Amino acid sequence: MTTALTNLLDLDPAQLVAYCGELGEKPFRAKQLQRWIHQFGASDFSEMTDLAKSLRDKLATRAFVAAPAIISDHTSTDGTRKWLVDVGQGNAVETVFIPEENRGTLCISTQAGCAVNCRFCSTGKQGFNRNLTVGEIIGQLWMAEFELRKTKGIEPGPKGERQITNVVMMGMGEPLLNFEPTVTALKLMLDDNAYGLSRRRVTLSTSGVVPMMDKLSQECPVALAVSLHASNDVLRDGLIPLNKKYPLRELMAACKRYLEFAPRDFVTFEYCMLDGVNDTDAHARELVALVKTGDTAVSCKFNLIPFNPFPESGLKRSHNPRIKAFAQILMDAGIVTTIRKTRGDDIDAACGQLAGEVKDRTRVQERMQKMTEYQQKFGKDFGRIVEISG
């Protein structure tokens, strides 16, 4: 009977120690392995010259190191770089690198598709297929770091200039609905023998899975971003269906509990600016009341995100003067507020645009095609037909 090979990218520091123990090796060998894999980008065991040859031989027959294969690699006019990577079973996910003057941020996906189905997000409109493995999550960081170094001619190794200084779990999927693999990947990002990132420089974004927020605070608290996008429950129910299960009062309470363990003393609320939907002065004042008064008050900052339109949403981006006026109301109330600069939209790498290629579990494309055919057939009566048919 053949034994399945182990992808060492799937193992966090403690798991790698245990794996080396199974091979009859001492714990320090795990640290050596980690450095070769995550700091030098090595995938060939024969290159790991400070490992005993007997260990290299064992590894060659029992293990491998493999990140998802790159399908495409595009760079935007603003320097943003997007990779489409193969995660098997007909699915691919997207990973985006955003270079800035004093940092480089990598946006990582945790699921092929997404089950949360937020109205303004193109990923959710394609449905959900499966959770990514640890190796597929951390493999995006592994791939991107060494692809970026290769492009710049930087030698791999701990002394080589790190290209990725910040990681955000804001790509495809809801990280907290793929909890264990996501946390294992986070532990690798933070480990000094792997990427050595600060907890303050790793941000997990959630649409508000309250029980898993509490669990994350105990197992691996990193910086937290919450996809808020609405100032009241009725509005948020329509934009983020998960709100019906975990409404704003519960979400704010979970944010406050999380801050007791978080590396930052505030939660970042992401707020997608949707023309005529959630962007009025009244909505801004309602947000101020939500986060500054009563038992929902929480230490926070706001990140206002200009919506990136896609056909299935039926939504439009708020106009720039409206976004600025909205931001001013929040700032006048003493809330730190930023307006996210749109990056990479010419290669569909901007916030909310990540769709990858995922098996369409919700048959969205098929339904959209049928609606187009009906519209062509019935013309101006199409709207009334849809309304009657429900």
CA distances from 132 to 14, 125, 347 (A): 20, 18, 23
Residues 318-332, mean pLDDT to the nearest whole number:
97
Domain made up of 6-64: CATH architecture: Orthogonal Bundle (1.10)
Q: For residue range 125-148, list pLDDT tens digits in order.
A: 677 788 999 999 999 999 999 999
Strands 202-206 and 166-169: parallel
Which residues belong to the active site?
94, 351
Q: For the chain, report the end-to-end CA distance as a whole number of angstroms.
A: 56
Q: Is 156 or 348 the better-scoring residue by pLDDT?
A: 156
Lowest mean pLDDT among 74-83, 156-165, 232-241: 156-165
Is the pLDDT at 283 greater than 70? The verdict is yes
Domain ranges for the chain = 6-64, 70-359
Q: Which long-range contacts (CB under 8 A, 24 or more apart) does 112-115 make?
A: 112/87, 112/172, 112/173, 112/356, 112/358, 112/359, 113/172, 113/173, 113/356, 113/358, 113/359, 113/361, 114/172, 114/173, 114/174, 115/174, 115/177
- Name residue 222's amino acid: V
pLDDT over 90 percentage in the chain: 72
How sure is the predictor about 388, in pLDDT bands with cuts at 50, 70 and 90? very low
Radius of gyration of the chain (CA): 23
Q: For residue range 22-52, list pLDDT tens digits in order.
A: 999 999 999 999 999 999 999 999 999 999 9
Q: In CATH terms, are 6-64 and 70-359 the same topology?
A: no
Residues 75-95, mean pLDDT to the nearest whole number:
91
Is the pLDDT at 359 greater than 60? The verdict is no
Q: For residue range 54-73, list pLDDT tens digits in order.
A: 999 999 999 999 999 999 99
The correct answer on CATH 3.40.50.2300 for the domain covering 70-359 is no
- Counting beta carbons within 10 angstroms of the beta carbon of residue 3, is it exposed (0 to 12), middle (13 to 18) or buried (19 or more)? exposed
| The predicted structure's pLDDT at residue 2 | 57
| The predicted structure's pLDDT at residue 315 | 86
Nearest to 354 by CA among 135, 141, 123: 123
Count of other CB atoms within 10 angstroms of residue 14:
13
How sure is the predictor about 111, in pLDDT bands with cuts at 50, 70 and 90? very high
DSSP 229: -
How sure is the predictor about 345, in pLDDT bands with cuts at 50, 70 and 90? low
CA distances from 225 to 209, 264, 298 (A): 12, 11, 13
The reported pTM is 0.85
| The predicted structure's pLDDT at residue 125 | 67
| The predicted structure's pLDDT at residue 312 | 75
